A and B are shown apart, each in its own frame.
Chain A
Amino acid sequence: MRPTLRARDCLGALALALILCGAAGAAEPTQWLARMNRALTTLDYEGTFAHWQGGRVEMLRIIHRVEHGVVCERLTSLDGSGREFIRRGSDLTVYLPDKKVVLVEHMLPKSSLLGGIPVINAETAHFYRIRKVAHMRIDQHDTRLITVMPKDAYRYGYRLWIDRGGMPLKIQLWDTRHGGEVIEQIAFASLTVRSHIPDSAFAPGLSTAGYRWLRNDAPAPKAGDASAWGALWLPPGFHMAMRASQSMPGTPGQVDHLVYTDGLASVSVFVERKAAASTSGTPATESARMGASYVFSTFVQGHRVTAVGEVPARTVRSIADSVRDQSPAYPSLPGPFAHPPRP
């Protein structure tokens, strides 16, 4: 009996150990992603990285600081356009020296901003396979390679090399269709976590004399303040995370801004009410690609609908095509989305 009991005890312990190991193993990749999200949004850091996309490599510099809950961020193109993006709290400023334009944009207060975007959770696993693939060294740093690959073709995948502090030293965006292809890569050449970054680090490095300033002086948008516009078709797992009505520089009247996300990928839909070109009688569509993101614009019921998202082109287009005013004035307009697209 004694040997039997021992064997039983051992088997029980082994089974428990396997269960615990299995649970820890399954949770670990998502914990790495959560750690990365925390590091990216809470640490003070500065670094230089190479951004590769579509055959071009550009060096950029990023400085990020969170002080008393206020996020300051500066992104500068080092060898390309000379453009700069500077964020101070809810104010976003984009300097476009090649166009002699400065864009000033407001966004929602932080509490409404990231709070509206779901974190990686059990639901994410329905649409992505999240795995810890390997232990690797990048530029003398220990990293974990975490892969986040979609289970369908509505979204892109990611390969992330995350160091112990949670900073992603290298990021690849993958289009998993057609056998898989890297469509964008960000790789840090230097990255330093700082205890303090002075205000002067967030001053623009260019003179704006003679620049045209396009600013939106209206108050920041309020979440939920929008009309009844919405997408009637969404890819599996996507849902509305934010809806707001806001003024945007250069756009007359209010623009409805809707955000759809599956927790990782997101698509914004902008509805410009009664846009001027809608009266021409020749509704048009246009699309563009910016980095790994797509933009698709069309006219719906006399309003311009523009969708922007870091997802495949067809996903952006299908969402934009399905956007309708769902107020009682347009109760039963048939849409082209009765047969949603197959990836």
Chain B
Amino acid sequence: MNEELDSQLSAMFDDELPAAECELLARRLSRDEALKARWSRYAVIGAVIRAERGVVLQSVVADRVNAALTKEPRFADTAEARGLHGWVRLAAGAGLAAGVAAVSILWLRMEAPGAQPGQMTVASTAAPAPASAAPRAADSFVVPPLARHQPMMMIPPTQLADYVVAHSAYSWPISRGSLLSSLMVSDPGTLSPSAAAAQRAPRSHGNATHASR
């Protein structure tokens, strides 16, 4: 990566890149894997500096930052850092240039692998499948449509949403906010069925308690 590009990336992350250049660089970021990796490293470092300012870094965090500098970081790290970036920017009420940059960054996030707007993350118990392969949300509450060659969907999406709402009423206020926020942004219609032969979770002896009734 050439020095100029590197310095542009750094300026973009610091909100110092003019809006027009920001957009161009954002487009390039979306298709240049090496540049994405570079961006990720900036993001991880920035997140740690901003979020943990004034706190001695714990070894785990320090290790993760170190790992980010030496290898491709996990997407979650990157996304978190970007999220922080957007939040800090919004909180600061920055100007137009920063606003454009924020839009670009959000756009990149939506395009990034693993980020699937409008879909709930799905974990099939039998064979994990990408969320994009999950059947489309049912619009009918009473008779959920069946996708071809798919086993019957057990829980209609709206019923699932209802369960989540009912559960939220009994959650710790913090968890409740989290649950309802997730409901607002997730698609409860992509619950993925799994076959009868689904494997049970591995079990072994542990220090669990038994509920007595």
| A interface residue numbers (CB < 8 A to B) | 36-37, 40-41, 50-60, 62, 75-77, 80-81, 83-85, 92, 94, 96, 98-101, 103, 105, 107-108, 113, 116-117, 133-137, 139, 145, 158, 160, 168, 171, 173, 179-187, 189-190, 212, 214, 228, 230-242, 246, 248-251, 257, 259-261, 263-266, 268, 270, 275, 277, 280, 282-297, 304, 306, 308-310, 313-314, 317-318, 321, 326, 336, 339-343
Contact = CB atoms under 8 A, between A and B. Distances in A.
Contact of A108 (B169, B198, B207): B169
A284 B186 contact: no
A99 B109 CA distance: 25
B203 A55 contact: no
Contacts of B210: 232-234, 340
A285 B194 contact: yes
Given A77-B184, A117-B172, A288-B122, A101 B158 contact: yes
B196 interface: yes
Contacts of A284: 151-152, 154, 193-196, 198
B85 to A, nearest CB: 9
A282 B61 CA distance: 46
Contact of B181 (A51, A105, A321): A51
A265 B19 CA distance: 44
A116 B175 CA distance: 16
Q: Which 7 interchain pairs have the tightest Cβ spacing?
A: A291-B182, A340-B208, A52-B83, A268-B167, A55-B79, A342-B206, A55-B115
A36 B174 CA distance: 9
Given A234-B210, A266-B170, A342-B206, A57 B160 contact: no
Contacts of B175: 264-266, 310
Contacts of B213: 228, 230, 240, 326
Given A50-B83, A189-B90, A285-B198, A100 B139 contact: yes
B2 to A, nearest CB: 29
A41 B173 contact: yes
B92 to A, nearest CB: 8
A57 B123 contact: no
Contact of B211 (A145, A231, A342): A231
A56 B179 contact: no
A297 B55 contact: no
8 contacts: A51-B185, A76-B184, A77-B185, A171-B177, A236-B207, A249-B158, A288-B120, A290-B182
A338 to B, nearest CB: 9
A260 B154 CA distance: 23
Contacts of B123: 287-289, 294, 313
Given A261-B170, A264-B175, A308-B167, A340 B139 contact: no
A50 B177 CA distance: 12
A242 B179 CA distance: 19
A59 B161 CA distance: 20
Given A58-B185, A182-B80, A251-B159, A310 B206 contact: no
B70 interface: no
> Which of A56, A251, A275, A291 has the most chain B CB atoms inside 10 A of its CB?
A56
Interface size on B, as a range, is 35 or more
A29 to B, nearest CB: 14
Contact of A168 (B160, B174, B192, B193): B174
Contacts of A145: 55
A250 B53 contact: no
Contacts of B201: 314, 317-318, 321, 341
A130 B183 CA distance: 28
> Which of A59, A145, A285 has the most chain B CB atoms inside 10 A of its CB?
A285
B200 A336 contact: yes
B84 to A, nearest CB: 7
A103 B151 CA distance: 26
Contacts of A238: 209, 211
A250 B156 contact: yes
Contacts of B91: 139, 187, 189-190
Contact of A233 (B54, B121, B157, B208): B208
B91 to A, nearest CB: 5
B158 A250 contact: yes
A40 B166 CA distance: 19
A60 to B, nearest CB: 6
Contacts of B76: 54-55, 181-183
Given A81-B185, A280-B152, A308 B164 contact: yes
Nearest to B204: A342
Given A58-B184, A80-B185, 18 more contacts: A54-B79, A59-B90, A77-B184, A80-B184, A98-B118, A139-B91, A185-B80, A186-B181, A257-B166, A283-B196, A286-B191, A288-B190, A290-B164, A296-B125, A309-B167, A313-B123, A317-B125, A339-B203
